[in-house]
Amino acid sequence: MWKNKMAVVDIETTGNAPKKGDRIMQIAIVMIEDNKIVDEYSSYVDPQQPIPPFIVELTGITNKHVQGAPLFAEIAHEITKRLDGAVFVAHNVQFDLPFIQAELELAGFSGSWHGPLLDTVELARVLLPTTDSFKLSDLTSQFKLSHDRPHQADSDALATAHLLLQFIKKLHSLPLVSLEKLGLLSVYLKSNIAELFESIIEDNKKNIKDLPYNMEVFRGIALKRKPDAKMENNSKVTIGEPEQVLESHVAFYEKRESQLLMIEQVKEAMNKRLKIAIEAGTGVGKTMGYLLPAAEHALNGKKTVISTQTVQLQEQILLKEAKMIQNITGDHLKFALLKGRNHYLHLLKFEQALAEEESQYDVVLTKMQILTWLTETDNGDVDELNLTSGGRLFWNRVRHAGWFLGEDKDPWKEKDFYLNALKKADDADIIITNHSMLVQDTQRSRPLIPVYSHLIIDEAHHFEDACRRQWGKQLDYIHLKYTIGQLGNDRQDLLAGRLSSIIRNSADHNSRQLTEEMVAELSAEADAAFYQLSALLKSSITMKKGQQKYTLSIEDDIRENTGWKQVQYAFERLLDNMKKIDRILQSNLEIVKKNKEALSDSKKAVIEEIHSFLLEWNEWIQSIRLFFIANDSSSIIWLEGDIRSLPGSLSISSRKVHVQNEINDHFFAGDKAIIFTSATLTIDGTFDYFLKGLGGDKLNVKCSIYPSPFNYSKAVRLMVPKDLPDIKSVPHDEYVELVTDHLIAMGEATKGRMLVLFTSHEMLRHTYELMKDSGLMEDFVLMAQGITSGSRTKLTRNFQRFDKAILFGTSSFWEGIDIPGEDLSCLVMVRLPFSPPDEPLTKALWNDAKAKGENPFKEVSLPKAVIRFRQGFGRLIRHENDRGLIIVFDRRLITTSYGSHFLSSIPSLPVEERELDSIVKEIEHWL
């Protein structure tokens, strides 16, 4: 059936809801027989309604294209003839099929489609588990398939057909053991992929091939074989003169004096074991500015650790700049990426999970993704995978947490990804990690990061907050309830029941029971405790119109509240229950450990999973003690929740107010060189604020600034609207309406290509909805963080895909996104990025500054806002030839005395005050 006839269908429609009257305006069907394309059919369709401007922008199909086209009823017979007896294939079947069913019904063709369905999105998730996008255009690009007119049915159907043939080819190339396991799981998928697997398994059994040389089967699971260790190359290599090296290896290299100076300064710091801070503006070439000296020292046996803010930046350095260094040194240097152990797959746990029958969709899909991934991955690192949110929960079961029974009892020890990562780090000359891992490692009795001579902290403006976050704690209702759900009781086939079963079958029956009543009581106490917290939050906040998310700092006045006493009692009861269960499980684990030699591998996997569970359980216990029993004056504690969904959205967090002593103890002790670097470390040209966060005057840190080489005076115009009032002088709703009017006018002038940065998600949502509802933006694609689905990376990529797009962002969008060239021509900052004064950490730091007799605004709020402003400013010009406008709606930039601190911290530019009409004309003229 699968080889004989497949109908690959794509449609373009006037909207996304056939039940609301949206209609098909183009249809295409590509027929595949015996894995060959044998026929193509396409037609425009008269939808009998105007095509919305957004759909015209998306597809390029206008009302003229469908004028005179047949009605669907006129081609319905042609459609059904092709679909008859075929497998219905589409890229997102659940979109295409309901539309075709509805149209056939309108045309008088009764009855629903009952044939087999194949969804290429679902198949892509299984076969391409590491791809970051399952959009058709991204997948065709990945396979280098022709796809000349995305969002037109004939082009999309043909591209989907070619993609399906690639998937079938990949399925044939997978090891038979993987196919058989995937086939068993695929019966729980939403489309009839199981029948495709069955067909391919039959084919492969008739023609069994040897495994590829780079693959092996171990304990019934196929995985990529570890590459053979390279022979040590002991020949002497030197880096050479930096300028000549860069000229030879960097494409389109242009000499940057500041980069060469930075290289020399980093080299000196490493030679003399100095502590330095370098601000290197966009375009200086900061990464190579520290990597070249690090490589030179590594060739002389000095290990360097590089820490970045994000995992993405970690990987970017490894895939780009580190590759260049390896080319320069002829692969003499070894680089290693090192992350926390919970990033890595625990193979014994996964083997056990695979043996369990499970029909829940996300679990099945994730198991299938991991099976495919194991034939491809060298690292076993979850960041390679594109998992659903349900898949993330499954990952928590099979991720690494060390060993309870000892690694020697793990039959997968030789294949273990985590041990392999540690070995790579131990052997590496340069280790790339992230701030979280670096700071977390200071808490371990046996650090995972090997001893090193030099430490480079990139994106160093985040380092103080990274320390606060890692040395803090968090507790949330949903996670706790999920953890309790994993536990179960002795009668259930969950963790406690599996442990009990192992003990019952062992020689020693002296175990303690975890009864149904105990777990029910635990769950009830968790509910009661978080309901008390919810009541405290509701009673302690002042509700504001339009606001749903609230925070509440747990300060002395709250602690004296009778509501807090009730919360404490509730959490003390919960804590007692948790400790009781911890004692029972720990005791039962020790019983099992005495007989560990007799354990089967599947039972070992259960024990290791329970061990991981108890590590997390003890984290919960420690957090509850800190929040509700101990009185830690060095930390701030706060509640956070969405008033519409309590207690489900509720979390409680803690952060240390001051981390300078810990930073000194953990990072400044000893004689290693430390290089702090970022594009934004200074305010008003001084490092005072940054250094204060690390420990202030006690530190002997040499500081240097290397400004961006870009000519901002020619590339950027900076404007402030004259006709916007001061934000505090008018009601909030009125201000948002004025902001919306300005954004609509500017968006039309820039033809999209505009990034709008907010400091409040409420204001972002309100503005987005007003622009949507205005009816004036129908030609534009509006995308908003937290409203439009997708990660920051996905939203940024989609913004670049459309010609007339406007992207609304807050928080993380102020930095770290890279949109070079004409894709971004206008950057709007709606407000200066001050943290809300009632934000818990800001509030605590204000109180601390007041206690010291300092000006809290000047010492706390202003520096943070200036750094964030500088990061936002840096989103516009990413390369030398970029140009554009920055429009700051917040008139405080020019009307207040502190506005000068913002302006003096960016490249020197005239600030143009203009009426809206003048700004619009200038945009049209300049762009």
In SS3 terms, 386-410 reads as CCCHHHHHHHHHHECCCCCCCHHHC
> Would you say 796 is a known binding-site residue?
no
Is 790 annotated as contributing to ligand binding? no
DSSP helix/strand/coil, 552? strand
Which residue intervals of 505-636 are DSSP H helices? 516-540, 556-559, 562-594, 601-624
Q: Report whether 508 contacts 594 (CB < 8 A).
A: yes
CATH number of 714-926: 3.40.50.300
Strand partners, 216: 223
Q: 786 labelled as ligand-binding?
A: no
Whether the predicted pLDDT of 135 surpasses 90: no
483 annotated ligand-binding residue: no
Contact of 412 with 601, CB cutoff 8 Å: no
The pLDDT value recorded for residue 1 is 46
User: What pLDDT score does 142 carry?
Assistant: 87
Instruction: Determine contact, residues 739/767, Cβ cutoff 8 Å.
Output: yes
In total, the chain counts a number of residues equal to 927
pLDDT confidence band for 32 (50 / 70 / 90): very high
pLDDT of residue 506: 64
Give the integer Cα–Cα distance in Å for 866 and 869. Answer: 5
Residue 606, marked binder: no
430 — pLDDT class (breaks 50, 70, 90): very high
Residue 762 pLDDT > 70: yes
CATH architecture for residues 260-334+428-471+659-709: 3-Layer(aba) Sandwich (3.40)
- Domain at 6-209: CATH code: 3.30.420.10
Tell me, what's the pLDDT at 623?
A: 92
Residue 298 assigned ligand-binding role:
no
When the pLDDT of each residue in the chain is averaged and rounded to a whole number, the result is 89
Token pair, residue 872, equals 């936002």
Q: Is 251 annotated as a binding residue?
A: no
Q: Average pLDDT of 810-823?
A: 82
Domain boundaries defined on the chain = 6-209, 260-334+428-471+659-709, 340-425, 473-656, 714-926
714-926 matches 6-209 in CATH topology? no
Q: Which tops the pLDDT comparison, 696 or 419?
A: 419
Closest CA to 877 of 711, 748, 751, 678: 711
Identify whether 242 is preceded by a cis peptide bond (ω within 30 of 0).
no
Q: Give residue 601's pLDDT.
A: 80
Exposure of 408 by Cβ count < 10 A (0-12 exposed, 13-18 middle, 19+ buried)? exposed
Choice among 22-31, 204-213, 446-455, 464-473 with the minimum mean pLDDT: 204-213
Query: Is the pLDDT confidence value at 250 over 70?
Result: yes
DSSP secondary structure of 133-165 = ---HHHHHHHTT---SSTTSHHHHHHHHHHHHH
914-921: long-range contacts at Cβ-Cβ below 8 A with a sequence spacing of 24 or more?
A: 914/719, 914/720, 914/721, 914/722, 915/721, 915/722, 915/723, 916/721, 916/723, 916/741, 916/742, 916/745, 919/719, 919/721, 919/746, 919/749, 919/887, 920/745, 920/746, 920/748, 920/749
66 annotated as belonging to a binding site for a ligand: no
Rounded Cα–Cα distance for residues 158 and 32 (Å): 10
Nearest to 309 by CA among 433, 214, 491: 433
Q: Tokens 């190339």 belong to which residue?
A: 173
Q: Could you give the CA distance from residue 780 to residue 808 in angstroms, rounded to a whole number?
A: 13
pLDDT tens-digit profile of 285-316?
999 999 999 999 998 889 999 999 887 788 88
**Tens-place pLDDT, residues 154-164:** 999 999 999 99
Q: What is d(CA 83, CA 81) in angstroms, rounded to the nearest whole number?
A: 6
Q: Residue 178: in which H helix or E strand, if any? A: helix 176-186
